[in-house]
Structure 1
């Protein structure tokens, strides 16, 4: 689960990082201990206690049916602000969108309350560039709790801070809507994430303000956060790797169901520019189908996707053998099926060992394989302990 790497504490290592020496290797240092930020830890504890209270009220008939339905509508819409907006559109540039669509996505992402679009995308680009190493904000090599929520309760690893400054964010810096939201985020957050969802429940559905706040804000917010966090945790730990066995992320139908299509994560990390974030858009992937709808009505265009041949070649070259069509019986037999089955992802618990990731400073692709190396040349610059990609 851990890699043998140069530790962050060495002065020489820091100099190498600053000089961006191509020989510097980043992995997971098992001796490094993250320092707890108690203000954040206590804040998340209070949030989840209030959310639990609100969830109990919601599911025991403590609110009107209209409030119940409204809460889930808001949960769904703001989640798409993250999945379609922050993730597939702004982080990976999987498609292009009209100004109206961009405004809608930023509005909904603000309602999700997962920090500004700029910061969300910076952290996620860093996560992809240095996935599952100490430069990854939510490094899955440090265990389920850390990559699920613990990373938000501790001080950032020095690599996260240093390399986060080197992530190219010029496209978002040139987007006035993104920068407007970043500048006024906390004001917009209070208005869009708290006031606008809670006010209708009080004004039109007859709920007391405290009950509306507990259900429509706290319960919705915590449920949404944990749904998103499962992509960082469960979808990096419990599943199969049919597209690239050398990547930590896995395929998980369960997480895909919870996160509107984000759980086909081995595919997504293999082809991060694909708007589907999955090989198919028809299995637990509502976000891909909505993007396709936006394309039909003219709000989205230039949808990017990996060609069937590219996917097929990747499966044959680096897959773990569990793919439904191109896998093999031996690899499938090595997988222990736990829980309900799904034809594309029959398990979310694999018996084989997780890969050990060590990366050079160039990291992994954010948009397309060719933004790091040319598959047709011998100049391959991204290497890990298992060799060149």
Structure 2
């Protein structure tokens, strides 16, 4: 356990206000047409895959899709997010290899690129230096930031992000160096070949159901950037956009308690309750902590949660009602 005071985040934003404050009149939306075509294909093919689940796919292929969905989400959430980006816990090498395999299944660029974007997001959250700045609208923070060129502030302040720990990690640099074969095999080849080889699924079904899985992985994570910055409660800091959005936690395996996460980003649970049905990722980390492959799990003491909620929260404290009463 570690005890952090949880400094107010509002002064941090004011510090950079003149440099990266949203200026809608100066924004340019330079479209990346190749990215648009790519995302269009994935979504159309994924919808066709959904149709095939009902029309001709074998039930075990649907189960396989669900399992790879879990793998992909864990690679992003337990790996890129909670481990490599926020260093909220440590792992032994076998678990780190499992996580980079899962991360390659989830494929949201390499883990190194993901960490750079996410650290930038936290440092300059919801300003023009934030890659998926939520003040630019729901669509932009969900998908638009990936189909348009980066704002100049993202490029400028992205260079200030410390990634020395990431580039000193041989597991992550291996994935970066061999990104095309590693991610191609893990994300697209294996989930397609396994159903074909082991239970005789057709290529058409196997391929499109896997694209459905991949599309779901992408959108589950994207909802954290969009929906969890727009709808919900703010029990810990009412001055920031991130919210508590339990429905997002359900699909993302535990990332919807976003107001809490932006106030206490080092907590390995990414929310204050942790061990509930909406946070499968925490259960995953806890299991590996039990067998000794994960250790130094960081969390926030209850008294710190109470103090912060009473000082800057919106009064809801929906998950710990006692906080709003000062008990």
TM-score (norm 2): 0.91
Query: Are 1:194 and 2:191 an aligned pair?
Result: no
Q: 1:236 aligns with which of 229, 232, 236?
A: 229
Query: In structure 2, what is the equivalent of residue 160 of structure 1?
Result: 154
The whole-number CA distance in structure 1 between the counterparts of 2:115 and 2:109 is 10
Q: Which has the higher contact order (CA 8 A, sep 6+)?
A: 2
Structure-2 change in CA distance of 1:162 and 1:207 (3 Å): same
The whole-number CA distance in structure 1 between the counterparts of 2:172 and 2:244 is 31
Give the Å deviation of 1:189.
1.1
| Root-mean-square deviation (Å) | 1.3
Give the Å deviation of 1:42.
1.8
The whole-number CA distance in structure 2 between the counterparts of 1:239 and 1:22 is 26
Q: Secondary structure of the residue that 2:31 maps to in structure 1?
A: coil
The whole-number CA distance in structure 2 between the counterparts of 1:121 and 1:62 is 39
Q: Secondary structure of the residue that 1:204 maps to in structure 2?
A: helix
Q: 1:257 aligns with which of 246, 250, 254?
A: 250
- Point out the structure with the larger helix share: 2
List per-residue Cα deviations over 1:205-224 (Å, max 9, x = no partner): 211112210112x1111011
Give the Å deviation of 1:23.
8.4
List per-residue Cα deviations over 1:150-186 (Å, max 9, x = no partner): 0000000001111111100000110111111101111
Q: Secondary structure of the residue that 2:268 maps to in structure 1?
A: coil
Q: 1:327 aligns with which of 320, 324, 327?
A: 324
Point out where structure 1 has 5 or more consecutive residues left out of the alignment. 1-20, 329-389
Query: Are 1:42 and 2:37 an aligned pair?
Result: yes
Give the Å deviation of 1:22.
7.4
The whole-number CA distance in structure 2 between the counterparts of 1:231 and 1:80 is 14
The whole-number CA distance in structure 2 between the counterparts of 1:75 and 1:308 is 33
Query: Are 1:107 and 2:104 an aligned pair?
Result: no
Give the Å deviation of 1:37.
1.0
The whole-number CA distance in structure 1 between the counterparts of 2:16 and 2:242 is 25
Query: In structure 2, what is the equivalent of residue 12 of structure 1?
Result: none
The whole-number CA distance in structure 2 between the counterparts of 1:158 and 1:22 is 15
The whole-number CA distance in structure 2 between the counterparts of 1:22 and 1:84 is 30
The whole-number CA distance in structure 2 between the counterparts of 1:295 and 1:208 is 40
Query: Are 1:280 and 2:279 an aligned pair?
Result: no
Q: Secondary structure of the residue that 1:258 maps to in structure 2?
A: helix
Give the Å deviation of 1:25.
3.4
The whole-number CA distance in structure 2 between the counterparts of 1:152 and 1:166 is 21
Query: In structure 2, what is the equivalent of residue 308 of structure 1?
Result: 302
Q: Secondary structure of the residue that 1:25 maps to in structure 2?
A: helix
The whole-number CA distance in structure 1 between the counterparts of 2:16 and 2:234 is 28
Query: Are 1:57 and 2:52 an aligned pair?
Result: yes
Q: Secondary structure of the residue that 2:199 maps to in structure 1?
A: coil
The whole-number CA distance in structure 1 between the counterparts of 2:168 and 2:18 is 31
Point out where structure 2 has 5 or more consecutive residues left out of the alignment. 1-14
Query: Are 1:98 and 2:92 an aligned pair?
Result: yes
Query: Are 1:84 and 2:115 an aligned pair?
Result: no
Structure-2 change in CA distance of 1:318 and 1:46 (3 Å): same
Q: Which has the larger radius of gyration?
A: 1
Query: Are 1:185 and 2:179 an aligned pair?
Result: yes
> Once superposed, which parts of structure 1, at least 4 consecutive aligned residues long, lie more than 6 Å away?
none
TM-score (norm 1): 0.77
Query: In structure 2, what is the equivalent of residue 368 of structure 1?
Result: none
Moved more, 150-159 or 304-313: 304-313
Count how many residue pairs are aligned between Structure 1 and Structure 2.
Answer: 306
Moved more, 179-188 or 27-36: 27-36
List per-residue Cα deviations over 1:42-61 (Å, max 9, x = no partner): 22112111111011111x14
The whole-number CA distance in structure 1 between the counterparts of 2:45 and 2:36 is 14
Query: In structure 2, what is the equivalent of residue 172 of structure 1?
Result: 166
Structure-2 change in CA distance of 1:22 and 1:115 (3 Å): closer
The whole-number CA distance in structure 2 between the counterparts of 1:22 and 1:256 is 30
List per-residue Cα deviations over 1:99-157 (Å, max 9, x = no partner): 11111101110111111010010000001111000000000001110000000000000
